[in-house]
Structure 1
Amino acid sequence: MTQKKVMIVDDHPFFIHGLERYLTSTGKYEIRSALSVAEAMVRLEGFEPDLVMMDVSMADGGGMAMLRKVKAQSPVKTMFLTVQIDPEDTIEALRLGIDGIALKDRDPEDIVRAIDSILSGQAAIYPAVTERALRHSVHNPTPTLRQDDLLTAREAEIADFVCMGLRNRDIADRVGLTEGTIKVHLHNIYRKLGVSSRSELIVKQGGLQFRGSAAS
């Protein structure tokens, strides 16, 4: 069985080393760890993980800042593993495309199940986390989101290039990614904006201003 690559990012050495040993003992994962966002961003380049697990609160910016950076660079799966998460952070993480949110006080086997669900392409967000976010949304409604608020900076950039008529290969050359990665980003863009083709995306773009676009 091919091992999946998992990066763990947490600024508590005792916790991160214990989790690393436990996950390694399953034989299913190749694990790398980092004790800060800065260290993780450096180690990501050579490791190319299938999943990045991170705490929400860390000394040098926290998981939310890292989630933005990771999603802007790669379609890698992401997961928060934390003691607690505010409803606002849950909602923002979902907007950014987080694949899972798990709590540290659960049984280690629950965490493994969440990891495996994410790696198989499913979301894995603990019901208690979702319930808190939903209650917060009901009692604290926010203005309707613009479409560009739903996209990461990288997705917005790619959407702009599509609307300029560029092909996937040309977009890949411009942003320094592979054509396959561009296709993954496009899939996420279509899902977030509720479209199913390039032509629908171009029509949807009418009247919108994606990040990086010039005002019409």
Structure 2
Amino acid sequence: MIDILLVDDEELVRAGLRAVLEAQGDLRVIGEAADGAEAMVLARTLRPHVVLMDVRMPEVDGLSATRAILAAGGASAPKVLVVTTFENDDYVYEALRAGADGFLLKRSRPAEIAHAVRLVAAGESLLFPAAIRRLAGERANRPAAEAMARAGLTEREAEVLRLVAQGLSNGEIAERLFLGVQTVKTHVSSVLGKLGARDRTQAVIVAYESGFVPR
């Protein structure tokens, strides 16, 4: 069972998400928060596996709440899936840089929402490469380029990172490269360590901002 915390300042949105998620046999909503401050408290006390986080809320927004929840949780922090109306929202991009595991559009179909939650709960990242590429292209920066230059990725690791940046899962990368899934996981972990990235999403952002993956 995957335990979920819903965070959105609109009660109607929370009710809709709850109905969608609880129609699935393996997903369970264990709490709701109407703002970022409440979300931080509930994330600490309820210990959900996944937080569905709206980014634009009054008082404490989703970006600040995401940073606080991930910092407080450390290695055992929940996965954060940003829920947004617009995929080109700067708040979304900054949440991804802060460690969110992906983003989901509010207009997504029920099956897509359930799939997204399962995906991030399993340790994957939910990426929309075109949107990430567009947003990252506006933020090309020297620190990212320097991080990539220092990383010293092997040829195989570089190949894996490029495929991760395309939004492929470990299983899909394994099929593409004729490798075992565990081998791909090992390569991904090595890439994250060399880049100093918390997760796949942050690694992809570095790849795009550095120009390693063409924008």
Q: TM-score higher than 0.5 here?
A: yes
Identity of aligned residues (%): 25
Deviation at 1:187, TM superposition (A): 9.2
1:193 equivalent to 2:192? Answer no
Rounded Cα–Cα distance in structure 1 between residues aligned with 2:40 and 2:112: 27
Q: What is the CA–CA distance in structure 2 between the aligned matches of 1:112 and 1:12, rounded to whole Å?
A: 20
Residue equivalent to 1:141: 140
Equivalent position amino acid for 2:54 in 1: D
Query: Is 1:5 the counterpart of 2:3 in the alignment?
Result: yes
**In structure 2, distance between residues paired with 1:83 and 1:40:** 19
Superposition TM-score, scaled by structure 1 size: 0.62
The answer as to whether partners of 1:20 and 1:33 remain within 8 angstroms in 2 is no
Structure number with greater CO (CA < 8 Å, separation at least 6) is: 2
Where do 5+ consecutive residues of structure 2 fail to align? 148-188, 198-215
**In structure 2, do the counterparts of structure 1 residues 67 and 25 end up closer, same or farther at CA, with 3 Å as the change threshold?**
same
Residue 131 of structure 1 and its aligned partner are, at CA, apart by 1.4
**CA distance in 2: counterparts of 1:188 and 1:47, whole angstroms:** 32
Residues 95/191 of structure 1: CA separation in 2 closer, same or farther (3 Å cut): farther
Q: Tell me the SS of whatever aligns to 2:119.
A: helix
Structure 2 distance, partners of 1:136, 1:144, is: 17
**Which structure is larger by alpha-carbon Rg, 1 or 2?**
1
Partners of 1:13 and 1:191 lie apart in 2 by 42
Specify whether residues 4 and 138 from structure 1 end up closer, same or farther in structure 2 by C-alpha distance, changes over 3 A only.
Answer: closer
Superposed, 1:51-90 pairs within 5 Å as: 51-74=50-73, 75-86=77-88, 88-90=90-92
Q: Measured at CA, do residues 87 and 41 of structure 1 come closer, stay the same or move farther in structure 2, by a change above 3 Å? A: closer
Moved more, 43-52 or 134-143: 134-143
Residue deviations 1:146-205, cap 9 Å, x none? 76xxxxxxxxxxxxxxxxxxxxxxxxxxxxxxxxxxxxxx999735427xxxxxxxxxxx
Query: How much does 1:67 deviate?
Result: 0.8
Q: How does 1:111-150 map to 2 (within 5 A)?
A: 111-125=113-127, 127=128, 130-145=129-144
The residue type equivalent to 1:103 in the other structure is: L
d(CA) in 2 for partners of 1:131 and 1:189?
A: 21
Q: 2:177: which partner in 1?
A: none
Contact 1:87/1:133 (8 A) holds in 2: no
**Number of residue pairs aligned between Structure 1 and Structure 2:** 151
For 1:149-188, what aligned pairs fall within 5 Å after superposition?
A: none
Q: Describe the SS at the equivalent of 2:28.
A: strand
* Structure 1: gaps (5+ residues): 148-185, 195-216
Using a 3 Å threshold, how does the CA distance of structure 1 residues 188 and 141 change in structure 2: closer, same or farther? closer
Q: Aligned ranges for residues 23-38 of structure 1 at < 5 Å?
A: 23-31=21-29, 32-38=31-37
Which shifted more, 24-33 or 12-21? Answer: 24-33
